[in-house]
Amino acid sequence: MRHALAQNIGVMRRMFASPLAAFLNILVIGIALSLPAGMYVVLQNAQGLVAQLSGTPQISLFMSMNAKTSDVDALRNQLAQHPAIASVEFVARDQALEQLKQSTSLADVIGSLNQNPLPDAFIVHPKSGDAQALDALRNELAKLPKMEHAQLDSAWAYKLEALLKFGRMAVVILASLLILALIAITFNTIRLQILTQRDEIEVSRLIGATNGFIRRPFLYFGATQGLLGGIMAWLIISLSLVLLNHQLKALSELYASQFVLQPLSLGDSLSLLLFSLYLGWLGAWLSVARYLSHIEPR
């Protein structure tokens, strides 16, 4: 335990022996991590905003004109028990005709009709907003007894889904490239540390030090640098969201909205820190492994 603590203290001393260089390395790692993580935050907020503006998707079910009251009650019970449906609203044909009179200028024309041309209808609110799930549910409901037509405008859902898939793929590509860059940064930083301690490492090998003993302080160094880079990324994202929300407040007031950009959740924040720590550790492990393979006796 004492030895591990001593190694950790030694790691921190080496890291901050050159404070400016250490800060710049941490800043570069933080900026690189904040780009994909920031895009992820924006994407999550955009998804919530679009869902809020678009509203909950609805499926309109129009029954046959010869449907009886018993048919309506049977269908209402069937829809209420469906696992993919959140709620159901029934619109009687007389109610629909009255609403049509009040919402249009055709009251005189409608009043001259001999009979009500509108059918009984149900407004279905699905649980899922996925475009394919909505289409599947619409097709299923259209086959119910006494069902004349099932209407769903799913074009917007497909457009939203395609846009979100594009955004997620962009985040994955950017994150993959920056992960490689971060590993390379840590790899090169540890390589420079190894070069400055080459004599110390060789002496340790002569007195019987194992590869694990030699590797450990450099792994601590890489993991610590990665963790600090993750904290820097979190601070960059948090500060950026504060500044953006300050400007967004005035814009939201113009549209009578209370929309604000939500920060990283606790789970996402911990994932960011752990992932940055792992990247630093991986870069250090690769760098030390490469050096040790070169000095191994053949």
Percent of the chain past pLDDT 90, that is, above it, reads 8
Give the Cα separation of 261 and 130 in Å (integer): 23
CB 123 within 8 A of CB 89: yes
Least confident of 46-55, 105-114, 167-176, 205-214: 105-114
CB 145 within 8 A of CB 76: no
Give the Cα separation of 52 and 58 in Å (integer): 14
Specify whether domain 58-153 bears CATH 2.40.50.60.
Answer: no
Instruction: Output the CA angle 247-250-254, nearest 5 degrees.
Output: 140
Q: Facing residues of 90 across strands?
A: 122
Give the Cα separation of 217 and 285 in Å (integer): 11
Please determine, for residue 106, whether its predicted confidence score (pLDDT) is greater than 60: no
Q: Facing residues of 271 across strands?
A: none
In 3-state terms, what secondary structure has residue 208? Answer: coil
Nearest-CA neighbor of 214 among 229, 202, 231? 202
- Strand ordering across the sheet containing 147-151: 85-91, 121-126, 59-63, 147-151
Number of Cβ within 10 Å of residue 5's Cβ equals 9
Give me the pLDDT at residue 234, please: 94
Give me the pLDDT at residue 237, please: 92
Please determine, for residue 3, whether its predicted confidence score (pLDDT) is greater than 60: no
Give the Cα separation of 286 and 284 in Å (integer): 5
Q: Give me the residue spans of the domains in the chain.
A: 2-53+158-295, 58-153
Q: How many residues does the chain have?
A: 298
102-116, 150-164, 182-196: which has the highest mean pLDDT? 182-196
In 3-state terms, what secondary structure has residue 113? Answer: coil
Please determine, for residue 149, whether its predicted confidence score (pLDDT) is greater than 90: no
> Average pLDDT for residues 111-128, to the nearest whole number?
74
Instruction: Output the CA angle 210-216-217, nearest 5 degrees.
Output: 120
